[in-house]
């Protein structure tokens, strides 16, 4: 039996409010702020064009999760090239230009935007997976893990207990066949970030400055269920990581 987080401590109740659990809740939140935020209306228009119940095609759908600078961009591109697949990202390109608008909004609105991106992405996955293997750079687990880590202060033991519904995949969202969580040790991740020289998001700056936040994000990823995250050490060379990833895809998916 899954434990619901709403009746728990105040922090868990705020988490429940911040993370919409289904498509109708996402749309309701965006409608509430559409008069003030025109971009919310635009996201709603895109959502309304998506069928409510998405069905996956015959090709495998593989998601890559992980903190920034764990190698997702390199690995997803390499896997896509190797499998002659289709590469998709969350949030999808059609709404990603509005990230800066929603990142400055309160948590319930911000998370509704990212959750909406997952439902719009599901429509793209449904179509693409009828044509080729689909490789995805982040999906629902990112939305959930960052919401949990942001709303819950303190150490990993302060997170909602394992099997809480917050770690469960939404029932009305298209599921992938496999989710791979890329991890590297903190020092290696910082070194990679410094070499990239890209502008940091607020959450990336928090990850770099706050080891507890980083731990909460990764522990949240590890508690996700239905589907769970298969952890992959992304510290070795690109070639070794690609080999490991392809072996896991072959094991869990029909390619």
Domains in the chain: ranges and CATH: 22-252 (3.40.50.300)
**d(C-alpha 142, C-alpha 120), whole Å:** 15
Tens-place pLDDT, residues 181-214: 999 876 666 665 666 555 555 655 655 557 788 8
Give me the chain's average pLDDT, please: 88
Closest CA to 239 of 71, 60, 89: 71
Cβ contacts of 195 within 8 Å, gap of 6 or more:
none
The more confident residue out of 6 and 84 is 84
Evaluate if residue 16 carries a pLDDT over 80.
no
Evaluate if residue 3 carries a pLDDT over 50.
no
What does the pLDDT read at residue 184? 87
Evaluate if residue 15 carries a pLDDT over 60.
yes
What does the pLDDT read at residue 207? 58
- Alpha-carbon Rg for the chain in angstroms: 18
pLDDT range class, residue 115, cuts 50, 70, 90: very high
Tell me which of 9-13, 73-77, 136-140, 170-174 is least confident. 9-13
Tens-place pLDDT, residues 53-101: 889 999 999 999 998 878 899 999 999 999 999 999 999 999 999 999 9
What does the pLDDT read at residue 99? 95
Residue 47 region, left (φ>0) first, then alpha (ψ -120 to 50), else beta? alpha
What does the pLDDT read at residue 210? 73
Evaluate if residue 9 carries a pLDDT over 80.
no
Structure tokens at 99: 């990230």
Evaluate if residue 10 carries a pLDDT over 60.
no
Structure tokens at 113: 């935007």
Which of 71-75, 121-125, 156-160 is the most confident on average? 121-125
Structure tokens at 144: 């959930």
Contact 179, 65 (CB under 8 A): yes
Q: What is the pTM of this model?
A: 0.87
Evaluate if residue 221 carries a pLDDT over 60.
yes
Structure tokens at 80: 């896509």
């Amino acid at each position: 039996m899954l434990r619901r987080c709403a009746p728990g401590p105040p922090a868990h109740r705020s988490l429940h409010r911040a993370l919409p659990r289904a498509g109708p809740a996402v749309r309701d939140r965006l409608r509430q702020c559409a008069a003030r935020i025109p971009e919310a209306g635009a996201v709603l228009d895109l959502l309304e064009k998506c069928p409510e119940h998405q069905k996956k095609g015959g090709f495998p759908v593989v998601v890559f999760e992980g903190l920034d600078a764990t190698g997702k961009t390199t690995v997803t591109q390499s896997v896509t090239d190797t499998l002659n697949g289709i590469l998709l990202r969350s949030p999808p390109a059609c709404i990603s230009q509005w990230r800066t608008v929603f990142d400055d909004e309160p948590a319930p609105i911000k998370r509704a935007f990212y959750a909406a991106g997952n439902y719009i992405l599901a429509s793209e996955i449904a179509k693409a997976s009828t044509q080729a293997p689909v490789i995805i750079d982040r999906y629902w687990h990112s939305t959930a893990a960052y919401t949990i880590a942001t709303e819950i202060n303190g150490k990993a033991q302060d997170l909602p207990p394992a099997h809480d519904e917050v770690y469960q995949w939404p029932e009305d969202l298209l599921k992938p066949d496999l989710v791979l969580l890329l991890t590297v040790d903190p020092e290696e991740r910082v070194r990679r970030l410094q070499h990239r020289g890209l502008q940091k998001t607020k959450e990336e700056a928090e990850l770099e400055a706050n080891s507890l936040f980083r731990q909460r994000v990764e522990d949240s990823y590890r508690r996700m269920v239905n589907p769970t995250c298969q952890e992959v050490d992304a510290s070795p060379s690109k070639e070794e990581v690609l080999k490991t990833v392809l072996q896991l895809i072959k094991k869990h998916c029909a390619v």
